[in-house]
Chains A and B, each alone.
Chain A
């Protein structure tokens, strides 16, 4: 008997806005605890929420990027539950009438086949505060309300996902789309993207769904994959031995790569949703949606296609560059009006990526700007420096932050093209290596390489290799 996994995801994404959802407090991450608070986000008695229009626009952009239908009429609802990080004891969310619904994202699954993952809804809600527990388990807990009221988009997928790998790929795709659309940075470390999964198993060929388990607390896409892999094995083992699953919410334990029960269905909350009487329904005209649509930034799929058609890159290179919209943008900025974009693509994918990986930084923290990199290529193309020197200059650029021109100047790395100078060195090398020269004349072609190397060494690699080749041959063969 084989089992099929049925997986659906719930993804919370922090929308990129300057201020919070219902007040004018800053939504910036990392400020001093409770410094970004006011009567509204602290839920002071009598305070009232007012929707930040920017949140709506970001919500619509996200909806369009996820191919959703945007609702002309949607409603905020209160989700009631008690928890210390929730000062009003309810979260303003959307329930029956969400902003976005019926969307989808296309992914390539592990069989290389295109697959459509449906999105049931993508609705707006506010974040809660953050509990900070003392190191001492008997010690106090603190609440930081800076995050409270920060706008979130909750994306709920159809149960269309069939494997941990598909879940992983879907998450990568969603992240790319939302980053490209400019609605979220999706930085998991900053809590800008959080994922809960629902998974059930059923016998292959069966239509009905099995008993659903919700898993929380995964802090990376890789952990989502691991949690699902574990959960499939766990559930299959129970079913295979004739056991029955109970619907429950489980927590992923990353130290053990396993999941543990958090609460059972009986303990599930009744959130008592109802429309928030403090907020009027959100009415969005078609014209508004069209305007947002017109200004919608290029999405990953479109960008990949354009890098292939416009710059003549291979599909493979285009995909690699587009894994981050920032790198793709860096590439485009570097090769503005440049004739051989392929060369720049290669350089970014090898040299630049190497540095980013080594230094564990993002490209927007990278010292070498697109125009700096472009200058390096201009020096290379005009013959001022050789390819070998170019790599040396590049590492100095990375190390010092100086421009290519300045480094070439300071270090005297200009390519040597003076024939007389090179001839002098060639003569020296021939005089010092008579034996090798005669071997070459006897037909040992390898010997020529050695002599070339000697000339390059004596010129510290600066001699133009074509000239060295030409002059060396001339000298040896004419004697």
Chain B
């Protein structure tokens, strides 16, 4: 077994004892990626994996007392790493080299992590399939004809396929949890404000969070510890102490109150997914948790609310890519408006353009009140829903995705159907809550199914100990 197959937890003692040095892991990763590229249907998880550049990161690293001890961590290509391209899987940023590190990367380095490779994704994190990438589709290691999920599809596929030890993704409406679910890895979206957004290229600022995608729950805890913490460069960063999440793993969940919202098990939920999720819930029950049916009555408005607010923010966040300051200049014209139109028309993919247009429309004068403002009100109601629920329970569990991974190309022409598949993940982002996906089984076809575990603000510790219980049984 190559070191690329190891977990963070397994690598730590080897690195500490000096049996393994970081470069050994990088070499094995490089070989695994190389080998996968020879495959008839490569996973295509990386936009770039530059061994020379990664080696430089290792050369400047010399600390055996850190949390991560030099472990390479793959990074979704929407997070800035100094001196590397940050393409956001878009043609418009195909040549953009970042001059600075995101704060999460700074903290990762301080804790001994080595940024290693930039991961493929849906363009600007918009999508649920990883088909919207200027650098090609990513495939699911469990079935290469299937999507890996998105938008952090590269992260989930690489971790599941042994092409990364662990990865950092980003989650705006489910972009960590949904691919984690489809690739049977652990993925957690932290509480909004837990991890600094400074250096994460914004899709929808009031939802975006960076989070770990890992092989195990323990690795998720270790990696989240490494990147969390207050940042003066991000006004929405929370002044919260970072707990030792890893020390919560292994703690019992006896008498923990777990809520199961009825609204998440209705029409549209695939039968096999339901069975696996119910199996996950029964594992928790067997471990002594108290299972309580609850209601989150505004859930039905979550998709509409999310897609109005997220696209509104996106239309503004992505406006800077116009070929003058940022973005590839595709045309040589002296007409300013033409320059904007041509660069943006040619530089962005269809899904990105669709969302920019949607957001531009809902913010327009005359429509603002009916869409954006109303959506903000609905957002408040959805927050209240969860607030009420967390008075009664400690944890909420739901499916992550109503369906398992589908065939590549199947839904490309049906964006609305694709948006609806986000129904279980977006409410969490609307409320800024932490939530994870942990594998709870597979369909008869062998496709992974994830269980979503949601906790109250800044209670990721509850998620980790609960997820571990499921992981121990399902593994």
A positions within 8 Å CB-CB of B: 39, 42-51, 78, 80, 82, 84, 87-90, 143, 270, 272-274, 277-280
Contacts and interface: CB of A to CB of B under 8 A. Distances in A.
B411 interface: no
Nearest to A81: B319
Contacts of A273: 363
B322 A48 contact: no
Q: Sorted from nearest, which 4 A-B pairs have the closest CB atoms? A: A89-B319, A272-B363, A277-B206, A277-B205
Given A272-B316, A272-B365, A46 B372 contact: no
A89 B320 contact: yes
A280 B236 contact: yes
B71 interface: no
For A45, A47, A274, A277, the residue with the greatest tally of chain B CB atoms inside 10 Å of its CB is A45
Contacts of B86: 45-46
B368 interface: yes
Nearest to A271: B365
Nearest to B373: A274
Contacts of B199: 46-47
Given A45-B321, A272-B365, 5 more contacts: A47-B199, A48-B197, A50-B232, A143-B325, A278-B202
22 contacts: A39-B99, A42-B325, A44-B98, A44-B100, A45-B88, A45-B98, A45-B320, A46-B102, A50-B232, A51-B235, A78-B316, A80-B316, A84-B336, A89-B322, A272-B360, A274-B312, A274-B313, A274-B363, A277-B206, A278-B236, A279-B235, A280-B236
A80 B313 CA distance: 11
Contacts of A44: 98-100, 326
Contacts of B37: none
B455 interface: no
A274 B235 contact: no
Nearest to A49: B235
B396 interface: no
A279 B100 CA distance: 21
Contacts of A80: 315-316, 319, 363
A125 to B, nearest CB: 15
B332 to A, nearest CB: 12
A278 B200 CA distance: 12
A279 B320 CA distance: 18
Contacts of A274: 312-313, 316, 363, 368, 372
Given A46-B201, A277-B205, A88 B320 contact: yes
Contact of B198 (A42, A43, A47, A87): A47
B80 interface: yes
Contact of A46 (B198, B340, B364): B198
B9 to A, nearest CB: 30
A143 B234 CA distance: 27
B108 interface: no
Contacts of B102: 46
Contacts of A88: 319-320
Contacts of B198: 46-48
Nearest to A138: B334
A82 B232 contact: no
B251 interface: no
Contacts of B336: 84
B6 interface: no
B313 A277 contact: yes
Contact of A272 (B205, B235, B364): B364
Contacts of A42: 325
A50 B234 contact: yes
Interface string B194-231: 00011111101110000000000000000000000000
A87 B320 contact: yes
B322 A45 contact: no
A275 to B, nearest CB: 9
Given A50-B232, A84-B336, A45 B316 contact: no
Given A274-B312, A274-B372, A48 B319 contact: no
B324 A84 contact: yes
Interface centre among B99, B197, B324, B360 (most CB of A within 10 A): B324
A48 B80 contact: no
Interface string B403-437: 00000000000000000000000000000000000
B93 interface: yes
Contacts of A39: 99-100
Contacts of B324: 84
A89 B199 CA distance: 18
B121 to A, nearest CB: 14
B265 interface: no
B307 interface: no
A72 B206 CA distance: 23
Contacts of B354: none
Nearest to B366: A270
Contacts of A278: 202, 205, 235-236
A452 to B, nearest CB: 77
B49 interface: no
B390 interface: no
A44 B201 CA distance: 9
Contact of B326 (A45, A143, A280): A45
Interface string B309-339: 0001101100111101110000000001000
A280 B237 CA distance: 10
Contact of B365 (A43, A51, A84, A270): A270
B319 A270 contact: no
Contact of B325 (A48, A78, A87, A90): A87
Contacts of B79: 46
B134 to A, nearest CB: 15
A280 B239 CA distance: 14
Contacts of B99: 39, 44
B207 to A, nearest CB: 9
A426 to B, nearest CB: 82
B322 to A, nearest CB: 6
B233 A48 contact: yes
Contacts of B298: none
Contacts of A143: 325
A88 B201 CA distance: 12
B269 to A, nearest CB: 32
A46 B202 contact: yes
A48 B372 CA distance: 22
B301 interface: no
A88 B322 CA distance: 10
B61 interface: no
A90 B319 contact: yes
B112 to A, nearest CB: 23
Given A42-B325, A82-B340, A274-B372, A50 B365 contact: no
A42 to B, nearest CB: 7
Contacts of B340: 82
